Amino acid sequence: MEDKEIIDLYWERDEDAIKQTSLKYGKLCAYIANNILSNQEDSEECVNDTYFAVWNAIPSKRPNRLSVFVSKIARNLALKKYEYLSAAKRNSSMTASLEELGDCVSGTDYVELEIAKKYIENAISQFLWQQSDEKRNVFIRRYWYFDSIEQICSRTGFSQSKVKSMLYDMRRKLREYLESEGIEV
């Protein structure tokens, strides 16, 4: 079923919308949640919560790309669940990914403001679209999907040293780009 048809089902409040979303994007949501949570049961709960959140969100919003809309909700819910569960324990792959990006985007107080966050999101998006498809995809796999270096190598066929080098170079360039945009890092 096409995304537009699924969105129409949500607008009609037809419960088949959830089934169709599950069929089309369930594996993507599970993949994202599991990369963050590293626990099958927590990931399944997060995916189910995603369908509920999409059900509640779509009547007021009509997303242009359902895959992006659904995966963003799944990712945000998984990150919230991770934060809740990780008082003492850590998912080493995700923690490493976030620590790597920490050098580019600091945790200063103004970043918490919604307008500043949107500005930073837009700047990062603009930066990524200036990169080659290859570099952009490696960066997104690491910092959006929280893929490990090994998973990225397996997916792309690149060596670990090439992936690490690409990520290091992209973080350095991102930092320079953000500073040039007046964003304090």
User: Does residue 24 register a pLDDT over 90?
Assistant: yes
pLDDT for 87 equals 56
- Alpha carbons within 13 angstroms on the beta-carbon side of residue 107 total 4
Separation of alpha carbons 69 and 65, rounded Å: 6
How far is residue 66's CA from residue 171's CA, in Å, rounded to a whole number?
Answer: 29
**Whether the predicted pLDDT of 172 surpasses 50:** yes
pLDDT tens profile 92-145: 556 566 666 666 655 544 434 566 677 788 889 899 999 999 999 999 999 988
- In one-letter notation, the amino acid at residue 48 is N
Q: What integer best gives the mean pLDDT of the chain?
A: 86
Query: How far is it, in rounded angstroms, from Cα 174 to Cα 128?
Result: 8
Reported pTM: 0.68
The interaxial angle of helices 3-11 and 66-85, nearest 10 deg, is 70
pLDDT band at 84 (very low <50, low <70, confident <90, very high): confident
Q: Rounded CA gap, 155 and 178, in Å?
A: 29
Which amino acid is it at 78?
A
Q: What is the DSSP string of 9-69?
A: HHHTT-THHHHHHHHHHHHHHHHHHHHHH--HHHHHHHHHHHHHHHHHHTTT---S-HHHH
Digit-coded pLDDT (tens) for 39-74: 999 999 999 999 999 999 987 778 888 999 999 999
